[in-house]
Amino acid sequence: MGLKLKNVLPMFVFLLLASTAKAQSAALDVTSEKYGGKPDSDITQALEKAWTDACASTAPSKIVVPKGTFKFVGTTFKGPCKAAIEFQLQGTLQAPVDGSQLPKDDTWIGFDNVDGLTLSGGGTFDGQGAQSWKNNDCNKNRQCKSKHINLRFHLLTNSKILDVTSKDSKNFHVNLLKCEKVEFNGFTVSAPKESMNTDGIHIGRSTGINITATTIGTGDDCISIGDGTKDLTVTNVTCGPGHGIAIGSLGRYPEEEPVSGINIKKCTLTDTTNGVRIKTWPASPKDSTASDIHFEDITMVNVGNPILIDQEYCPWNECKKGVPSKVKISNVSFKNIKGTCTDPVAVKLACSPGLPCENVELSDIDLKYTGDKGPITSVCSNVKPTITRVAQPLACATSAAAPASA
């Protein structure tokens, strides 16, 4: 009897482990009989049911949207969940063209309070935003109504967005708020340059975000970094069309938090209106800081304003331009930035007269102007940068004011 038990026990353990592995790898296919999703039809309910099952599972689970095109009205997938979830989008999810059909005013797809999420599969989140861009007047109306963001991440932790595409969002493509330890790798943003207010990835009040091997083409900032962002790393990002990579705008609202620990390296910007910049509003309602910000190994190809600090950022002319910004900028470096620009002012450091910039470094700057509006030059005010291996025209040639793009 004892011998039989001895022989049976290993087999029992093997079957238990095999059963556990199967449970961990079980795929919740939204087109299965259980969920009933079908191509070219609305799979909102199917996806919501699959999420409910995945979120309740005590073992890691995988939601699969197979190849094909599926309609999706939109929802917010909420946690906390009992185990990690992989959301594998192999096909295309399409938002309604008419934004009024979406259940939330400002979000198409949201993930809220989730730990251990992975978005993967090589598929596309298609916001079908062209109609919304035509009705977007946010470039001139400060009180404009927000449109729908393709992917909104709130309280996301220990998560990855891998090899998926956000296409033609009605508003920002991605918005991260209060997130921690989130990685983007192989992510793509695709929208034409005329798509209004469609920032590629916007980050606010988040820590430990890593963006790498990502391609962003859109109608606004490729990456915009809002208040409260800390320990952000951006590497090997290709940007264009768009408005470049921006810290800010900062200093517009009274409850803003400091920005620090921003490292942007080995990126290429092509045909963008700006390159790498920091922008703050004048007449800030309270003191704030932006510090330890570093741009290094950046290639510019036909970029409007390659290097820019603008502490008089005032779109729509709805601010008190004569009142200095109260955002203190310090410990900033621009290193090994090379390429071509379409504006003769290749370097502009326009810091606040109330709080001059401190510890700003320019080194190994090599930019060529491709236009015919005069010689290449640079403008610096309220800052005394450390300058190393920078040709004289780019080394704070003048302190006079010069306009910058929005």
Give the C-alpha separation, 236 to 225, whole Å. 17
The 3-state DSSP class for residue 131 equals helix
- Which residue is it, tokens 């820019």? 308
Q: Which residues contact 336 (CB under 8 A, 6 or more apart)?
A: 296, 297, 298, 363, 364
Of all helices (H) and strands (E), which one includes residue 15? helix 2-25
- Determine contact, residues 309/350, Cβ cutoff 8 Å: yes
Give the C-alpha separation, 288 to 290, whole Å. 7
- Which residue is it, tokens 């956000």? 166
Q: ∠ at Cα 103 (98, 107), nearest 5°?
A: 80
Give the tokens for residue 121. Answer: 């599969």
Give the C-alpha separation, 312 to 283, whole Å. 9
- Determine contact, residues 242/200, Cβ cutoff 8 Å: yes
Give the C-alpha separation, 316 to 139, whole Å. 7
Positions annotated as catalytic residues are: 243
Give the C-alpha separation, 394 to 389, whole Å. 10
Give the C-alpha separation, 108 to 70, whole Å. 14
CB neighbours (10 Å) of residue 24?
14
Listed residue (265, 338, 246, 346) closest to 301, CA to CA: 338
What DSSP state is assigned to residue 101? G
Side chain identity at residue 215, one-letter code? T
Give the C-alpha separation, 123 to 183, whole Å. 17
Give the C-alpha separation, 319 to 343, whole Å. 26
